[in-house]
A and B are shown apart, each in its own frame.
Chain A
Amino acid sequence: MAQTITEKIFSQHASRDVYALEIVQIPIDMVIGNDITTPISIHAFEKSGATKLANPDGFSIVLDHFIPAKDIASANQARISRDFAKKYKLKNFFDEKDMGIEHALLPEKGLVVPGDVIIGADSHTCTHGALGAFSTGMGSTDLAYAMVTGGNWFKVPESIKVVLTGKPQEYVSGKDIILEIIGRIGVDGALYKTLEFTGDTIEHLSMDDRFSMCNMAIEAGAKSGIVAYDKITEQFLSDKPLAREPRILYSDSDANYVQVLHINVAELESVIAYPFLPSNTHTLTEAVNDSIKIDQAFIGSCTNGRLSDLKVAAQILEGKRVHEDVRLIVTPGTQRILREATKLGYIDIIVDAGGVVSNPTCGACLGGYMGILGDNEVAVSTTNRNFVGRMGSRSSKVYLANSAVAAASAIAGVIADPTQS
């Protein structure tokens, strides 16, 4: 019987043919924890009486949320992960020396590969589906279970086929495509399901665009997002020391989908999600007409903190100045991205324009640190959530956008069209 790529990944791991809605207990290739969620997992791991990790090289801890420590409690919390990593001689432990946002860092390190089953105690773990893997977020206890047993149970998800057609216009990115999808189907439109991205648009989308799309699958309630392997994936992986041999799989042409969604990307303009849900989408034209004054522009996060984000920001900011009433904060996703952006001159341009560049961290995106919004402040942000209080004060507002729009808005002081700047 025909299968989707997701059903094929599960079948390989279950060593039998499985289909949507079946419950399977399977081994996991990579388990990911961070400084906030891993301490609860470590506690459960120790409480279970476990003395070793089932698959030590298949476990990564990335300290990225509140590191470098934002306060004493965060420092104490990070120590729990540091001590555990030391005790178990964890190979894949990423602290300040080689830090990055987990969902930008792991692909860069070759630790997640096509055909993998990946779980992380972080909802944006779905990002890694961009490599043709099944990747999903879970809680800390599920993580602990995988640390002890090397696997976990899953209900094989049904798939929604997203058919993307046409070449995106200038400054229209993967971020705009996923916001458009969330706007159409809602924040629970893909609940428990996989968003499988297909169509001729894919060949025009860089890995960075694909990571952005899969990253925000969770904002439609999805369990995972996935893009099948192609030349662009191959190119991305070619300079990385891969943890495993990629298992390249494709959906059968007659596979079963619960829904098919068509998006004409050629006609899509940039999308802005107004407060307070990612599904509250408007076109950039509408946003420009609404003259939305901003106090802060933020470029970063596991959604849009990659090299292409810094590149497009630098292109737009070159020779310009950030508006006198606006703060521009740029957070590269990893140390490697920071280094490359420095070499390529992007960081100089951003700083010359009046932007501030921070260390890699999740901080600002979730209102942790490094760019908190005050009472009634408004931000345009390349992050993934615009919930009440997400980036700071309960009375603050977040407009989600792509990096080009965020950069153009930083100059204009209002949400602005990058083609006009």
Chain B
Amino acid sequence: MESLRGKVWRFGKDIDTDLIIAARYLNTSDPEELAKHVMEDADPEFVKKVSAGDIIVAGDNFGCGSSREHAPIALKAAGVAAIIAPSFARIFYRNAFNMGLPIFELKQSDQIGEGDVVSIELDRGVINNESSGKSYEFVPIPPFMLSLLQSGGLMNSIERGA
């Protein structure tokens, strides 16, 4: 995974998976179709505004609710490059890793504003808010998750493990 740099879209806390992709669109798992409706019930204009490489910064408990993997699929297909939040709901956290959508736990997420430009240095474990000039250390990715990522994700680890 290379370094990430992008413009920030801000969301509040407890962003649930129904807000990320409403169930009325779950009659397909086609990424392009899902991407058309990403975050629709949180911000109906989001799809028009987001560009490839943008980064979502949210409050606590991002991705709570359903287990639908359609949520990280939709975000990724819409071009969202990473998500930063103080905490993530458990199933979403696991799904994001499995889908290859980078997510970062950052306690000081509220110090990053809409429209800020942030860069994420994966090797140093640092998130830089280029707009404010402040840098923060994100919560390290658990070693087990990191090894899964390095083996190319969960499904790819099957062949290696077998």
| A contact set with B: CB distance below 8 Å | 23, 36-37, 39-40, 43-44, 47-48, 65-66, 70-71, 73-74, 77, 120-123, 125, 137-142, 144-145, 148-149, 153, 187-188, 191-192, 218, 221, 223, 277, 366-368, 385, 387-390, 394
B11-47 contact mask (Cβ, 8 Å, vs A): 1 or 0: 0001010110011101111000000000001101000
A142 touches which of B66, B70, B94 (Cβ 8 Å): B94
Nearest 10 Cβ contacts at the A-B interface: A139-B95, A73-B27, A141-B98, A366-B23, A139-B69, A389-B41, A188-B61, A123-B67, A137-B67, A74-B27
Tell me the nearest residue of chain A to B26, going by C-beta: A36
Q: Which residues of B contact A367 (CB under 8 A)?
A: 18, 22-24
Chain B stretch 144-162: residues in CB contact (< 8 A) with chain A: 144, 153-155, 158-159, 161
Kindly provide the distance from the CB of A132 to the nearest chain B CB, expressed in whole angstroms: 22
Q: Is the CB of B91 within 8 A of A123?
A: yes
**Which among B27, B67, B87, B158 is the interface contact of A121 at CB below 8 angstroms?**
B67
Closest to B148 in A: A153
Alpha-carbon distance between A74 and B23 when the two chains are bound, in angstroms: 12
Asked if B22 contacts A137 (CB within 8 A), the reply is no
Per-residue interface assignment for chain B, residues 41 to 69, with 1 indicating a CB less than 8 Å from any chain A CB and 0 otherwise = 11010000000000000001100111111
A138 touches B23 (CB 8 A): no
CB distance from B91 to the nearest CB of A (A): 5
Asked if B99 is an interface residue, CB under 8 A from chain A, the answer is yes
A145 to B14, CA, bound (A): 28
A sample of 5 cross-chain residue pairs with beta-carbon separation below 8 angstroms, ordered by A number, consists of A77-B28, A137-B91, A139-B98, A142-B98, A389-B22
Contacts of A145 on B, CB cut-off 8 Å? 154-155, 158
A221 B27 Cβ-Cβ under 8 A:
no
| B87 adjacent to A48 (CB under 8 Å) | no
Is B89's beta carbon under 8 Å from chain A?
Answer: yes
CB atoms of A71 and B27 under 8 A apart: yes
Residues of A near B19 (CB, < 8 A) are: 387-389
Closest Cβ–Cβ distance, residue B29 to chain A (whole Å): 5
A74 to B44, CA, bound (A): 24
Partner of B18, one of A125, A141, A188, A387: A387
Chain B residues whose CB sits within 8 angstroms of the CB of A149 once the complex forms: 158, 161
A44, B155: Cβ atoms closer than 8 Å: yes
Further contacts, 8 of them, CB under 8 A, given A44-B155, A47-B155, A389-B41: A48-B155, A70-B27, A73-B27, A73-B28, A125-B67, A138-B67, A141-B155, A145-B158
Cβ of B90 under 8 Å from chain A: yes
For A223, list chain B residues within 8 Å (CB): 90
Asked if B94 contacts A138 (CB within 8 A), the reply is yes
Contact A40-B27, Cβ < 8 Å, known A48-B155, A142-B98, A223-B90 = no
Cross-chain contact of A141 among B26, B60, B61, B69 (Cβ < 8 A): B69
- Closest beta carbon of chain B to A341's beta carbon, Å: 26
Contacts of B155 in A (CB 8 A): 44, 47-48, 141, 144-145, 148
* A48-B158 contact given A40-B69, A187-B14, A367-B23, CB 8 Å threshold: yes
Known: A39-B29, A191-B61, A387-B16. A23 touches B144 (CB 8 A): yes
Q: Say whether B61 contacts A36, CB under 8 Å.
A: no
Contact B14 A277 (CB under 8 A): yes
Q: Which chain B positions have C-beta within 8 A of A139?
A: 67-69, 91, 94-95, 98-99
- A221 contact from B67, B70, B89, Cβ within 8 A: B89
For A368, the closest partner residue in chain B by CB is B23
Check B65–A385 contact: CB distance below 8 A.
yes
CB-based nearest A residue for B61: A188
Closest residue of A by beta carbon distance from B93: A192
From B22, which residue of chain A is reached at the shortest CB distance?
Answer: A389
- Shortest A354–chain B CB gap in Å is 27
Within 8 Å CB of B65, what residues of A? 123, 218, 385, 387
Tell me whether A65 and B26 are in contact (CB under 8 A). Answer: yes
Complex CA distance for A43 and B148, rounded to whole angstroms: 20
Residues of B within 8 A of A394 (CB): 41, 44
The smallest C-beta distance from A78 to any residue of chain B, in angstroms, reads 10
